[in-house]
Amino acid sequence: MQRLVSLFAEVLMVNAAELNEESSPATVREWDSVAAMALVAAIEETFDVQLSTREIMTMRSIGLAYRVLVSKGVVI
Amino acid sequence: MRSDDSVAARRLAKSEWRAHLTGRSKADLRIGIAATFTAEPMVPYAGHALVQHGYSPDILLAPYNQLLNVCGDHQVVFGNELDVIVLLWRIEEMLPSGLEHASGSNFATAASSAEPELDIFVAALSALRKRFSGSIIVSLPPVPRIPGFDPLGVNGAAGSLFHKMISLAFSERVRGIEGVALLDLDAVERQCGTQAAWDARVWYLYRQPQSEAAMALLGNQLARLICAQRRPAAKVVILDCDNTLWGGVVGEDGLDGIAIGQDFPGAAFRDLQLFLASLRNRGILLALASKNNEEDVRRVFDLHDGMILKWNDFTSHRICWRPKAETIPEIADELNLGLSSFVFIDDNPSEIESVRALLPEVNCVLLPEEPAHILDAVRHLWLFDQIQVTNEDSRRAQMMTEAQQRKVAAEAMTPQEFLKSLNLSVEVFPARTEHLGRITQLINKTNQFNLTTARRTLDEVRQLSQQGLHRVFGASVHDRFGDYGLTGVAIVAEGDSVWELDTFLLSCRVLGKGVEQAVLAALARGAQASGVERLRGFYRPTAKNQVAALFYESAGFRRVGDEAWESLAVDAATVPPHIDLVAGPQPS
């Protein structure tokens, strides 16, 4: 989980300490629609996966993103 | 590049761009992008490439599909003044009514039905050009992705032919607007591979019609165009011989043992020579620096029929056993050019290392060991990019050879005898439209004999020449060895009793021959003919223009301020005796 939180922090350009499983576009000001696109690209490039549109739309918080990646067999 | 490598390169570019944003220094390049689609993912790539080339860019994106509004008033859209405006469009959004017809097989009808929409866009673009003095970059559209057909289907050609007709019609219209550069989105997609350039997921989710890989290429390409618009191309390429101009080592393998010609590996070296020949045609000089016996190298040039380049295509030769870090500066002195305008190409890593270490200004290119990759290694370099090729550029190589002949003549005589023997003639004339490109080029690249170093864009120069408050003059110089072309610029602010020399510069090619006095005299005569009695000049010191510091003083001007000098026109109207002043500026 910590590796995913760091990745989100890096892309959103916020301090990792401000983020947790519950972090979402509703709680993080920097997580706007442009950042959402950058997050998808960063996740795919970092973990070498391809996300389906359904999976992308499911990732509405860091915890949900974590679950999607785990379900795809990604070791985080 | 393997795909793992390019993913790693993309991650690195984005992370370095974020680091730049965090520790942001003051922006020196403000870029506004408007697109008919979601273009945000390209920003980190463009930004990163510009940072690597020494800029500190600030990149703003207009809201989706605001191109016409940006053309109407970019400040309202971006809330800021800009140096560069970038307009990216696709046929799908910009020309929807033409597209409706395009899925049928009659692409020509479709293209003509798109023309009214195209005309509206071009009119807006031309209004922007009149209003905005910075750089404008506009895209050529990618091939449209139309739900109605399959690009590889039996009628697939209709869509791509429609796209070609639109691209042609648009580029022809844009060519009528001066100073608009084209960014070819279709070329970007082709370079990426049309399948790899498309990611249907992000299209449906975000209206982003290009994959991350294509966005990376697009960002790089934009940065490349912006750099090409703002910096001069390299002026000289210095080449090694063995395993660079040909395969093998002539001193060991002999004339018949080296590889150069139609067959591989010779063909790879031949292609490099063809590439170099194209540079030379564009006015970039070639020179040789090789550790060899000159006789061996001469024999290759004289006798080997596989060679494309001839000995005389090289303006300067250093075939000897001394270090290249020693011979390259000699070539620079000989050609009177700064080391930063030099590119050094060699296959030997240790030669490259030592030149890099000792002459850090020289741009060093290490050729790949694999001959098949040589051409691509040099062809994709940004160093030779040049957006406007003027007549002067393409004649430069020839003019440099003439300059060498002048040097030989100089060695045999006293300076006065030499000047007299040149039969110099100087013509000063009011600039016409066709001169403005070259004049702008001189205004922006002349550092040494440039009294005020006032830089201007083509648009600003054009405005000055049209508004009636200024006069823009060009000066061309000719001597018995040949024509130096348009090498001097003066911009005069006209007053009732005084002409102020807002800009006064000469290319260093004609310095030291009294040409500057002749041009000044021509201006003084022009002022007199207009009933103006005084000239006022300015010297604004920079790090590079000390050569001009004493100019006004030596011409008899009186200092009237920190940077200002004055003289009666009548006192400044004397032309040096060895120069023939062909025609002075006429009163308008």
Return phi, psi of residue B426, to 5°: -125, 130
| B155 vs A49, more confident | A49
Tracing tokens 């007199």 back to the chain, one arrives at B528
pLDDT confidence of residue B415: 66
State the best of A14, A40, A54, A60 to mutate against chain B, taking most chain B CBs within 10 Å. A40
B35–chain A nearest CA distance, Å: 15
Q: Are B535 and B573 in contact (CB under 8 A)?
A: no
Chain B contact set for A42 (CB, 8 A):
11, 14
Question: How far is the C-alpha of B474 from the C-alpha of B436, rounded, in Å?
Answer: 9
Runs of H (alpha helix) within B413-503: 415-421, 436-445, 458-467
B82-121 burial, b at 16+ Cβ within 10 Å, e below that, comes to bbbbbbbbbbbbbbeebbebbbeeebeebbebbbebbeeb
pTM: 0.67
A63–chain B nearest CA distance, Å: 21
pLDDT confidence of residue B538: 96
Return phi, psi of residue B481, to 5°: -85, -15
Chain A contact set for B7 (CB, 8 A):
45, 48
Distance of CA B94 to the CA centre of its chain: 30
Question: How far is the C-alpha of B395 from the C-alpha of B398, rounded, in Å?
Answer: 5
pLDDT confidence of residue B409: 59
pLDDT confidence of residue B276: 98
What is the tally of helices (H) and strands (E) in chain A? Answer: 4, 0
Q: Which helix (H) or strand (E) holds B182?
A: strand B180-184
Q: Six-digit token pair at B220?
A: 């790089």
Q: Is B219 on the interface with A (CB under 8 A)?
A: no
**DSSP per residue, B121-165:** HHHHHHHHHHH--SEEEEEEPPPP--TT--TTSTTTHHHHHHHHH
Distance of CA A26 to the CA centre of its chain: 14
pLDDT confidence of residue A67: 96
Q: Do B41 and A40 touch (CB under 8 A)?
A: no
ipTM for the predicted complex comes to 0.91
Q: Do A10 and B18 touch (CB under 8 A)?
A: yes
pLDDT confidence of residue B452: 95
pLDDT confidence of residue B410: 57
pLDDT confidence of residue B392: 54
pLDDT confidence of residue B405: 64
- Pairing, β B342-346 against β B363-366: parallel
pLDDT confidence of residue B1: 46
Count of CB pairs separated by less than 8 Å, A with B: 37
A45–chain B nearest CA distance, Å: 6
Q: Is B41 on the interface with A (CB under 8 A)?
A: yes
| Closest among B233, B289, B277 to B375, alpha carbons compared | B277
Q: Nearest-CA residue of chain B relative to A39? A: B41
Q: Is B202 on the interface with A (CB under 8 A)?
A: yes
Task: Return averaged pLDDT per consecutive 10 residues of chain B, 588 residues in all.
Answer: 78 94 87 95 97 94 86 85 95 82 71 86 91 92 82 75 92 88 96 94 94 97 94 94 96 93 96 97 95 94 96 95 94 93 95 92 96 95 78 58 63 68 89 91 88 92 91 91 86 94 89 88 94 95 84 93 93 91 60
Chain B contact set for A48 (CB, 8 A):
7
